[in-house]
């Protein structure tokens, strides 16, 4: 269940036995890893890396829930989120070498996994709160981009979503597919997996073949 009404208070945790909870945790781990990789590469200390991983993993979901007035915040109710973030960040700090030539590949892979999972989570949460399709798509995008923007700003990087790479468009394409498949009456798990797979595939193809949006420029 996405939400449970209890004494007129909105409880915002997912059922730990549900597939959606698994997707959420996959996104949390992926974003925690991406934040840790970048912070480690920038030579942050243990607590600096942990801070970056936390804001990367829960920043977007927090902003989404504030907009939707979902309370209490999901990570304040279920401590599994902060526990998983801390463990995954510490493991990466121990075993990942900051000067590895694979830094960029690891960062983009983990970021893509987070993009796939959190876009779906954001859309489903917004949809469960009665948001219309455009708003649900917007909140799905917010769920993934806010944490990444904060991560990149802390690490003195140009935010990925502000560059020419195929990123938000992949999330929007997957979101549109989600509503199309749902309206066709497909089962929830097929719709969810198809949505995440589409986002992941589009993003990875864009990275592999260097697909980019052109910039608008008036020639005179």
Tell whether the model's pLDDT for residue 3 goes beyond 50: no
Among 151, 73, 81, which Cα is nearest to 111's? 151
Q: Rounded distance, CA 195 to CA 202, Å?
A: 11
For residue 69, give the DSSP letter.
T
Among 129, 126, 130, 149, which Cα is nearest to 138's? 126
Q: Rounded distance, CA 186 to CA 214, Å?
A: 36
* Cα 40-55-108 angle, rounded to 5 deg: 55
Residues comprising the chain, all counted: 220
Q: Given this model, what pLDDT does residue 12 score?
A: 58
Mean pLDDT value of segment 43-72: 94
Mean pLDDT value of segment 123-131: 93
Torsions phi, psi for 40 (to 5 deg): -65, -40
Q: Given this model, what pLDDT does residue 133 score?
A: 96
Q: Rounded distance, CA 54 to CA 86, Å?
A: 8
Q: Given this model, what pLDDT does residue 4 score?
A: 37
Q: In whole numbers, what is the pLDDT of the chain averaged over residues?
A: 88
Report the share of the chain in percent with pLDDT over 90: 68
Strand partners, 165: 212
Under 8 Å between Cβ of 121 and 143: yes
Q: What is the pLDDT of residues 66-114, one digit of tens each?
A: 999 998 899 998 999 999 999 999 999 998 877 766 777 888 899 999 9
Concatenated DSSP letters of 10-43: EE-PPPTTSHHHHHHHHHHHHHHHHHHHHHHHTT
Q: What is the pLDDT of residues 157-209, one digit of tens each?
A: 988 777 777 899 999 999 999 999 999 999 999 999 999 999 999 999 998 88
């Amino acid at each position: 269940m996405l939400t449970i009404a209890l004494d007129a208070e909105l409880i915002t945790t997912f059922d730990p036995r549900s597939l959606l909870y698994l997707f959420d945790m996959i996104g949390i781990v992926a974003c925690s890893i991406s934040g840790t990789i970048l912070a480690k590469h920038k030579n942050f200390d243990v607590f600096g890396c942990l801070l970056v991983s936390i804001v990367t993993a829960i920043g977007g979901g927090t902003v989404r829930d504030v907009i939707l007035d979902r309370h209490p915040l999901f990570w304040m109710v279920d401590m599994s989120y902060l526990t998983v973030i801390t463990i995954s960040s510490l493991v990466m700090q121990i075993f990942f070498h900051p000067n590895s030539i694979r830094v960029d590949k690891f960062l983009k892979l983990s970021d893509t996994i987070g993009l796939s999972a959190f876009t779906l989570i954001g859309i489903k949460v917004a949809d469960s709160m009665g948001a219309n399709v455009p708003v649900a798509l917007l909140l799905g995008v917010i769920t993934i981009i806010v944490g990444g923007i904060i991560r990149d700003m802390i690490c003195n990087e140009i935010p990925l979503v502000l560059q020419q790479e195929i990123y938000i468009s992949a999330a929007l394409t997957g979101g549109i597919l989600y509503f199309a498949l749902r309206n066709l009456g497909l089962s929830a798990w097929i719709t969810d997996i198809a949505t995440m797979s589409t986002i992941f595939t589009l993003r990875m193809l864009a990275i592999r073949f260097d697909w980019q949006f052109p910039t608008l420029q008036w020639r005179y």
